[in-house]
């Protein structure tokens, strides 16, 4: 780090696959805080001279949704020490993986671009399906404070601790009234990873799961509660899957449906 | 027969908010024969993935199309759903939504002008270089960006992908205590925006071009300059309700690009700040109007290069700051009242609704069809970048023809700057243009 002349300055890259650039924007907005401690080798979204070469940390946003993404991801993996999947797209596949789990990529392509279209597409998947990921930092978009503390850990050579407790915990800590119990809203807080500070319940809205599943999410229990509150199982399932919660979490529910 | 001399001018990657794109210009015997704007971002099939979801999930899902314009997507989605249920928001909600939208306009325009365009004009390599060499301009960007983000955080719950805006109204109304500090930031923003205007004026932007753009923009609903409306207007005087967009926009896929393109009949057209100012400058507040009137943008017969889009955006920042101040002052002195009957669950019905808003880059359309249980059975979204793409190609062609004789470096930078001027969502670009001789 810069205050230790003996140690080389860590080399960092910020790259994106298929996503909405949300994380890039969060990092851009916090760049001033990082610049004294790192050397940014590549950040095509924010700088013009981007270098190749070995990296200490690669932050990668977006899901793998086309062959081009996969090649890029493999190139990045090969040259970095830590690979950090940032954002729900990179960690869970986000909306493109969640909603797409119900249909095939080719069908989607033809229904959007027409029958004659020949793009190469893939079923959208998170990074971990293809390469080793060292740190999974979820959020849609990631939370700036969480991002900075993760980066600080990595710069000190520690793997960071990231909580995967449910959003409910943050509601309790903030003493926010439970919107599931008190307002009967279809809140996914009990099965969604904390990190946002319970943004939605805080304004009286239902969590829609944008941080991805929490640790050991009790999907069945969640579905049961929502069914008891009058929500159809189909709708509950589609809501639970929207932000990329993997199919395996729903096996029993799916078989119950059939 | 003499050998054909071919050159390909290539910009291999211009990074854009909506993904990645490239530009190629094919030149044969000194003539531009082909221009391609190739968008090779990963496709996400939003029009397909929303099918089967409930109407109330639309704002959250479609917001993920683009982070910088997420507020615009959320509002277009909300308007489309509310149109199906024939719901009209209360005055308070309208003001909060407008305020939220202005926050996005300020943040997005400031980021485009300062982080993306400015380095080109002041001779900086990129944003970091700008930060080192032009501290003052860099600080202006951080403050304006923060102003836009703060407004969106107070109203929407976070700087983008808002959580507080829904079809049927806001979940929670920001308090006076939260609104007041924004006034202080807005005041500072007024100075910053004025500085930006002075700076942009000092650049020698070309005012003559052979292109007479066909402009398209939404007619603002209220008396002031605005971004919401139900009717679209074109520069030849033609107008149509947005519900009929499929009859006037012909959308098609092109082989080389993941971005669809739209034509107005057979014509490429331009949407965004220049289009809005071309039509509705009369509605601008006093400060913005004065600036507009003294700029070449005001001389409607004289053609102005698309590079002026940067300046047009700066005028919109001035306007947005003035209007946001007015809105907050109204909100501070009025009773904040939400709508009644905001729960659509008991009045579900099948139908189609279109919602359109003016995003930073131009008109955005969302259209949904619902079945009687409130599930989406069809969806369509047309983004400003898809609408502008045919016009960008036209512009590149013109610029390349005019500048072909100039040194490759010059041509390269002219084309880059031109494409970037269209690209307000793009916080920066890989400034790599290669001019290759093919044979
Ligand atoms: S995780 Fe969310 S914010 Fe990040 S790129 Fe994906 S859609 Fe955008
Ligand atoms: S409460 Fe849920 S949906 Fe809302 S921001 Fe947090 S994780 Fe995302």
Question: Are the CB atoms for A88 and A212 separated by under 8 Å?
Answer: yes
The Cα A121–Cα B10 span in angstroms is 25
Encode burial over A137-150: b for 16+ CB neighbours within 10 A, e otherwise. Answer: bbbbbbbeebbeeb
Average pLDDT of the segment spanning B143-152: 96
Average pLDDT of the segment spanning A2-28: 84
Question: Are the CB atoms for A45 and B128 separated by under 8 Å?
Answer: no
Identify the pLDDT of residue B1: 45
What residues are paired with A137 via a beta bridge? Answer: A86
Chain A with chain B: Cβ pairs closer than 8 A: 166
Identify the pLDDT of residue A190: 97
Identify the pLDDT of residue B434: 23
Do the chains contact at A50 and B13, CB–CB below 8 Å? Answer: no
Identify the pLDDT of residue B42: 57
Question: Are the CB atoms for B39 and B259 separated by under 8 Å?
Answer: yes
Please say if the pLDDT value at position B9 is more than 70. Answer: no
* Mean model confidence pLDDT for chain B: 84
pLDDT tens, position by position, B36-52: 776 655 567 788 888 88
Share of chain B above pLDDT 70, in %: 85
- The CA–CA distances, whole Å, from B23 to B140, B412, B426, B434 equal 31, 11, 15, 10
pLDDT tens, position by position, A128-150: 999 999 999 999 999 999 999 99
* Mean model confidence pLDDT for chain A: 88
Q: Is A199 in the pocket of ligand 2 (CB under 6 A)?
A: yes
Of the given ranges (A37-46, B67-76, B156-165, B354-363), which has the lowest mean pLDDT? A37-46
The Cα B238–Cα B216 span in angstroms is 10
Q: Which residues of B touch A210 (CB under 8 A)?
A: 60, 161
Ranked by mean pLDDT, the top range of A6-20, B347-361, B420-434 is B347-361
Confidence bin at B427 (pLDDT 50/70/90)? very low
How far does CA B15 lie from the centroid of its chain? 16
Identify the pLDDT of residue B213: 83
Identify the pLDDT of residue B430: 20
Q: Which residues of B touch A28 (CB under 8 A)?
A: 115, 427
Please say if the pLDDT value at position A51 is more than 70. Answer: yes
Identify the pLDDT of residue B250: 81
Q: Which residue has the higher pLDDT, B30 or B182?
A: B182
Q: Which residue has the higher pLDDT, B25 or B165?
A: B165
Q: Which residue has the higher pLDDT, A110 or B122?
A: B122
Identify the pLDDT of residue B89: 92
pLDDT tens, position by position, B192-235: 999 999 999 888 777 766 667 889 999 999 899 999 999 999 98
Please say if the pLDDT value at position A109 is more than 80. Answer: no
Do the chains contact at A18 and B42, CB–CB below 8 Å? Answer: yes
Identify the pLDDT of residue A168: 97
pLDDT tens, position by position, B322-376: 999 999 999 999 887 777 767 788 889 999 999 999 999 999 999 999 999 999 9
Average pLDDT of the segment spanning A194-204: 95
Identify the pLDDT of residue B276: 96
CB atoms within 10 A of CB A160: 17
Interchain contact B211–A (C-beta under 8 A): no
Helix (H, G, I), strand (E, B) or coil at A91: helix
CA dihedral sign of residues B281, B286, B288, B290: positive
User: What's the pTM value of the predicted model, to 2 decimals?
Assistant: 0.91
Identify the pLDDT of residue A150: 96
- Position in ligand 2 atom list of the atom nearest CA B60: 3
Identify the pLDDT of residue B60: 95
Q: Which residues of A touch B65 (CB under 8 A)?
A: 20
Identify the pLDDT of residue B424: 42
pLDDT tens, position by position, B244-259: 998 888 877 666 655 6
Whole-number Å distance, alpha carbon A210 to ligand 2 midpoint, is 5
Q: Is the peptide bond before A141 cis (omega within 30 degrees of 0)?
A: yes
Identify the pLDDT of residue A5: 59
Identify the pLDDT of residue B222: 87
> What would the two tokens of residue B102 be?
């202005």
Identify the pLDDT of residue B433: 22
Q: Which residues of A touch B47 (CB under 8 A)?
A: 111-112
Interchain contact A238–B (C-beta under 8 A): yes
Q: Which residue has the higher pLDDT, B401 or B8?
A: B401
The Cα B356–Cα B276 span in angstroms is 14
Whole-number Å distance, alpha carbon A118 to ligand 1 midpoint, is 26
Confidence bin at B28 (pLDDT 50/70/90)? confident
Confidence bin at A107 (pLDDT 50/70/90)? low
Please give, rounded to a whole number of angstroms, the shortest distance from the CA of B128 to a CA of chain A. 7
Identify the pLDDT of residue B439: 26
Interchain contact B372–A (C-beta under 8 A): no
Average pLDDT of the segment spanning B149-156: 97
Please say if the pLDDT value at position A166 is more than 50. Answer: yes
What residues are paired with A153 via a beta bridge? Answer: none
Q: Which residue of B has its CA nearest to A241?
A: B53
Please say if the pLDDT value at position A226 is more than 50. Answer: yes
Identify the pLDDT of residue B191: 96
Identify the pLDDT of residue B386: 80
- Position in ligand 1 atom list of the atom nearest CA A23: 4
Please say if the pLDDT value at position B126 is more than 90. Answer: no
pLDDT tens, position by position, B393-415: 888 888 888 777 777 677 777 77
What is the four-CA torsion angle of B348, B354, B360, B362, rounded to 10 degrees?
170
What is the predicted ipTM?
Answer: 0.92
Identify the pLDDT of residue B426: 35
Residue with tokens 């739209």: B262
Pairing label, strands A11-16, A55-61: parallel
Average pLDDT of the segment spanning A209-218: 94
Identify the pLDDT of residue B12: 59
Please say if the pLDDT value at position A7 is more than 80. Answer: no
Identify the pLDDT of residue B21: 61
Of the given ranges (A25-29, A211-215, B18-22, B90-94), which has the lowest mean pLDDT? B18-22
CB atoms within 10 A of CB A204: 16
How far does CA A217 lie from the centroid of its chain? 16
Confidence bin at B133 (pLDDT 50/70/90)? confident
CA dihedral sign of residues B181, B335, B72, B322: negative
Confidence bin at B19 (pLDDT 50/70/90)? very low
Interchain contact A124–B (C-beta under 8 A): yes
């Amino acid at each position: 780090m810069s205050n230790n002349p003996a140690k080389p300055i860590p080399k960092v890259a910020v790259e994106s696959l298929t996503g909405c650039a949300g994380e890039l924007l969060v990092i851009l907005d916090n760049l001033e805080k990082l610049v004294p401690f790192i050397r940014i080798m590549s950040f095509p979204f924010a700088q013009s001279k981007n270098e190749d070469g070995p990296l200490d940390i690669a932050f990668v946003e977006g899901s793998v949704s086309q062959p081009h993404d996969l090649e890029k991801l493999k190139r990045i993996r090969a040259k970095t020490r830590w690979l950090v999947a940032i954002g729900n797209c990179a960690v869970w596949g986000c909306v493109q993986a969640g909603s797409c789990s119900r249909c095939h990529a080719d069908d989607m392509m033809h229904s959007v671009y027409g029958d004659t279209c020949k793009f190469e597409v893939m079923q959208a998947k998170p990074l971990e399906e293809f390469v080793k990921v060292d740190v999974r930092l979820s959020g849609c978009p990631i939370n700036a404070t969480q991002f900075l503390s993760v980066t600080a850990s990595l710069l000190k050579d520690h793997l960071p601790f990231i909580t995967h407790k449910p959003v409910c915990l943050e509601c309790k800590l903030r003493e926010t009234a439970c919107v599931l119990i008190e307002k009967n809203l279809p809140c996914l807080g009990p099965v969604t990873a904390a990190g946002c500070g319970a943004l939605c319940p805080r304004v009286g809205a239902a969590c829609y799961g944008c941080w991805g599943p929490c640790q050991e999410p009790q999907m069945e229990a969640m579905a049961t509660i929502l069914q008891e509150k009058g929500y159809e199982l189909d709708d509950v399932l589609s809501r639970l899957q929207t932000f990329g919660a993997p199919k395996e979490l729903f096996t029993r529910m799916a078989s119950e449906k059939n | 027969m003499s050998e054909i001399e071919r050159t390909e001018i290539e910009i291999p990657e211009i990074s854009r908010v909506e993904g990645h794109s490239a530009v190629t210009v094919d030149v044969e015997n000194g003539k531009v024969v082909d221009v391609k704007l190739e968008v090779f971002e990963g496709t996400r099939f939003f029009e397909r993935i929303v099918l089967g979801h409930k109407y109330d999930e639309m704002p959250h899902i479609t917001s993920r199309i683009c982070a910088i314009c997420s507020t615009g997507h959320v509002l277009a989605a909300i308007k489309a759903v509310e149109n199906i249920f024939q719901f009209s928001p209360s005055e308070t909600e309208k003001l909060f939504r407008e305020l939220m939208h202005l926050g996005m306009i300020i943040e997005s325009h400031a980021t485009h002008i300062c982080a993306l365009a400015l380095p080109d004009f002041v001779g900086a390599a990129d944003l970091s270089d700008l930060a080192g060499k032009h501290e003052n301009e860099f600080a202006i960007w951080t403050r304006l960006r923060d102003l836009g983000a703060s407004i969106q955080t107070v109203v929407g719950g976070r700087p983008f992908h808002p959580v507080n805006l829904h079809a049927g109204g806001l979940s929670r109304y920001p308090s006076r205590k939260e609104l007041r500090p924004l006034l202080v930031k807005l005041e500072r923003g007024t100075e910053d925006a004025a500085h930006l205007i002075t700076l942009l004026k000092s650049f020698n932007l070309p005012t003559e071009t052979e292109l007479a753009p066909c402009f398209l923009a939404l007619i603002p609903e209220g008396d002031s300059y605005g971004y919401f409306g139900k009717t679209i207007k074109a520069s030849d005087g033609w107008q149509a309700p947005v519900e009929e967009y499929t009859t006037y926009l012909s959308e098609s896929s092109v082989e080389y690009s993941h971005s669809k393109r739209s034509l107005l009949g057979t014509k490429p057209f331009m949407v965004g700040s220049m289009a809005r100012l071309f039509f509705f400058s009369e509605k601008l507040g006093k400060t913005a109007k004065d600036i507009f009137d003294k700029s070449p943008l005001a001389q409607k017969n004289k053609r102005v290069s698309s590079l002026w889009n940067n300046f047009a955006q700066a005028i919109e920042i001035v306007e947005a700051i003035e209007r946001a101040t007015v809105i907050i002052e109204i909100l501070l002195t009025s009773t904040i009242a939400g709508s009644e009957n905001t729960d659509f669950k008991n009045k579900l019905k099948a139908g189609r609704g279109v919602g359109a808003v003016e995003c930073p880059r131009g008109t955005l359309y969302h259209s949904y069809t619902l079945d009687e249980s409130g599930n989406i059975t069809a969806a369509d979204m047309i983004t400003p970048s898809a609408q502008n793409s045919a016009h960008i190609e036209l512009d590149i062609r013109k610029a390349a023809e005019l500048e072909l004789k100039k040194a490759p470096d010059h041509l390269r930078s002219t084309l880059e700057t031109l494409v970037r001027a269209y690209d307000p969502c793009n916080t920066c670009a890989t400034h790599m243009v290669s001019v290759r001789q093919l044979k």
